Structure 1
Amino acid sequence: MPEVAAVPRVSPDGPPRAMPVTGYTLALSWSPEFCRTREDDRSQAHQCGGRSGSFGLVVHGLWPEGAKGYPQWCGARKALTPAQVRGAMCLMPSERLVARQWAKHGSCMVPDPGAYLKVTRILFEGLRLPDYDRIAREEGLTAGRIRAAFVDANPGWSESAVGVHLNARGWLEEIRLCYSKRFRPAPCTASRRGAKDGAPAKIWRGL
């Protein structure tokens, strides 16, 4: 892990919004696609530069959901520390990403950034990630196949709780896992579910 001297400052991209939490989304980014155009971006060197190896699915964030929208920028009562940022970078391989996810989303869940990162780690480490590098080679790949592969690897999950998000060119960008307030798999809303099962899909393998 790289040394972290200071927690990056992040600026809100919208107004504070507090509301009761009704569920959660664990967003997993497909790193090869994210890094496709960022290999020379110094700000993304840990994730995309190659010196730290290559990443597959990484945590984009753990997001609280509300009945009508989602809470955000709730105001952190306790400051994130450089040690906490560094400790989270196997999950979220960007200092700025860790800082932003805590400030925008985590602050609406718990008062302590350590608790937010702990819950995120427990959820992520409790998953079995499919071999999407192998699945990428299949003919006629669809969003439904990507969704079904996750469910096959994780008993207890149903396809209704797995969102698959493709970019405008049909490449896999993100998998969004939907949870109830008690962190049990729950059906995704339409916006979190993303692409329909029959949508043609591609998975960039970083070649």
Structure 2
Amino acid sequence: MWTGLVFGLAVVAVSPAGAARAEVRMSGSFVADASCPATQAIKSGRNPGNISTDAGQSYELLAGNKDTPTHYMIRVPGVDPERRWVKVGCGHVSGGGASTMPAAPVPAEGDKPAAPASGKPEYVLALSWQPAFCETKPGKTECKAQTAAGFDATHFTLHGLWPQPNGHFYCQVAAADKANDSPAHWQDLPAVELDPKTRSELDQVMPGTASDLERHEWIKHGTCYGKSQQEYFSDALTLMRAVNASPIRDLFTQNTGQDLTSDQIRGAFDSAFGAGAGERVRVSCLNDRSSGRRLIGELTLGLTGPIGPNSSLSELLLASVPTNNAGCPKGLVDPVGFQ
């Protein structure tokens, strides 16, 4: 259930020894779920400085070692060399076009993903804390427009609602649209048609619409939802209202500028949505390279069951399979504005 990643352009790199190797360029971040060796070479395991990832830490994601990767190349600031390889099972990918679920290989083109084990529809709801996202993407249109009075300064924002399992993307999507599904070309994807009320709410709750994020989310994930564009985004907004009307939002706004632990966040979900709800929540952190701060960037929620206008977020959470991996153990709740 908690899997997914995005592949980019295949390139050829040359190793220090001069041997050519195929790599697949990737974008976004790699969030370590554990402390794992970060090696200079995959085969030999050479690791100058004996460098390991920090659990919960976010690293710039550079490439995979092949189309179906066993290792990711990440950038580890302050070490020599900075470019290091880690096994895919060490963490999950986040940001850019990538999902925030644990990384695993995508099935080959045309392969159908296995049905969810529960026999019921399964989803991941990804909630962003926009001030933290904007610390790492200050050039984004939506980030330049942030203000202390804005909705995204004090509310969770929508990254996406992702049907599961892994590989369940781009359902009946034209090849040309798949080719344009990168942040630089989202404006070339087909427009999302919504009624005026839904469009207005989505523009507020998903600030990334300023960069055409909704076009990407529909093409990659919404086309596999089994409903219209209107229903897909309306259902996602219904879930967002439930989160933002809950004590989870209060926990973040009351601790802006301070650290929160994954235990605190999961405990708040238990209080708001029932005992055990927090076990369906994972925390992802971002590294603010300008300050070295670890920021809470996103929460991902596992959901199981049909989603509609009257769905109960509590029931959807509790019907989902719990995860023992809480993700980032502690991070700062970033205030709005570039720090």
Same fold (TM over 0.5): yes
Alpha-carbon shift at residue 60 of structure 1 (Å): 0.4
Q: Which protein is bigger by CA-based radius of gyration?
A: 2
Could you say what secondary structure the match of 2:163 adopts? strand
1:172 corresponds, among 285, 293, 296, to: 296
- Give the Cα separation in 1 of the matches to 2:151 and 2:111: 36
Specify the code of the residue in structure 1 equivalent to 2:169.
Answer: Q
1:44 aligns with 2:142: yes
Specify the code of the residue in structure 2 equivalent to 1:148.
Answer: G
Equivalence for 1:32:
131
Alpha-carbon shift at residue 147 of structure 1 (Å): 2.1
Q: Alpha-carbon deviations, 1:25-54, whole Å to 9, x = none?
A: 110000110122445x353257x4339724
Alpha-carbon shift at residue 201 of structure 1 (Å): 2.2
Specify the code of the residue in structure 1 equivalent to 2:304.
Answer: S
Contact kept, 8 Å, 1:76 with 1:103, in 2: the verdict is yes
More strand by proportion, 1 or 2? 2
1:110 corresponds, among 226, 244, 251, to: 226
- Give the Cα separation in 1 of the matches to 2:334 and 2:110: 36
- Give the Cα separation in 2 of the matches to 1:16 and 1:135: 46
Could you say what secondary structure the match of 2:331 adopts? coil
Q: CA RMSD in A?
A: 3.3
CA distance 1:34–1:179, change in 2 (3 Å): same
1:146 aligns with 2:265: yes
TM-score between the two structures when normalised by the length of structure 1: 0.73
Q: Alpha-carbon deviations, 1:179-204, whole Å to 9, x = none?
A: 1133511234467x423xxx232211
**Paired residues, what number?**
187
Could you say what secondary structure the match of 2:330 adopts? coil
Contact kept, 8 Å, 2:270 with 2:278, in 1: the verdict is yes
Could you say what secondary structure the match of 1:121 adopts? helix
Alpha-carbon shift at residue 70 of structure 1 (Å): 3.7
- Give the Cα separation in 1 of the matches to 2:206 and 2:299: 15
Structure 2 gap ranges (5+): 1-96, 99-105, 175-189, 288-292, 308-315
Contact kept, 8 Å, 1:25 with 1:65, in 2: the verdict is yes
Specify the code of the residue in structure 2 equivalent to 1:163.
Answer: R
Could you say what secondary structure the match of 2:135 adopts? helix
Q: Alpha-carbon deviations, 1:141-183, whole Å to 9, x = none?
A: 3221122223323346622111111224531010111111335
Equivalence for 1:203:
333
TM-score between the two structures when normalised by the length of structure 2: 0.47
More divergent stretch after superposition (142-151 vs 14-23):
14-23
Alpha-carbon shift at residue 125 of structure 1 (Å): 1.6
Could you say what secondary structure the match of 1:24 adopts? strand
* Higher RCO structure (Cα 8 Å, ≥6 apart): 1
Contact kept, 8 Å, 1:26 with 1:63, in 2: the verdict is yes
Equivalence for 2:206:
92
Q: Alpha-carbon deviations, 1:83-103, whole Å to 9, x = none?
A: 568332122112211111111
Contact kept, 8 Å, 2:173 with 2:223, in 1: the verdict is yes
Equivalence for 2:168:
71
